[in-house]
Amino acid sequence: MIFGFLGFGKMASALVQGMLQAGICNPEEIVVVNRHPEEIAEAVRKYGLKLASSPKAVVQQAETIILGTKPA
């Protein structure tokens, strides 16, 4: 199953870390996007995640979408 994260701040990062540690999925099964991709580049490399070019790309690739954005 491919998981897509729209937004990748502290909360989403913690969820991904927990998912990987628990063995729920592999890093290549997680696709993330963030409004400022340069801010998450290190975390993407650290965990081995896929970085999408847009929210639309995440939705097209993922089977499960997790909203990792602050409520506006």
User: What was the pLDDT predicted at 71?
Assistant: 79
Which of the two residues, 70 and 42, has the higher pLDDT score?
42
Would you state the pLDDT for residue 69?
86
How far apart are the two ends of the chain, measured CA to CA in Å? 29
Whether residue 60 is predicted with pLDDT greater than 80 in this model: the reply is yes
**Token reading at 44:** 């993407």
The pair of three-digit structure tokens given for residue 8, joined into one six-digit string: 């990748």
What single-letter DSSP state applies at residue 3?
Answer: E
Buried b (16+ CB within 10 A) or exposed e, 23-37: eeeeeebbbbbbeee
pLDDT at 72 over 80: no
Q: Tell me the backbone φ, ψ of residue 64, rounded to 5 degrees.
A: -125, 130
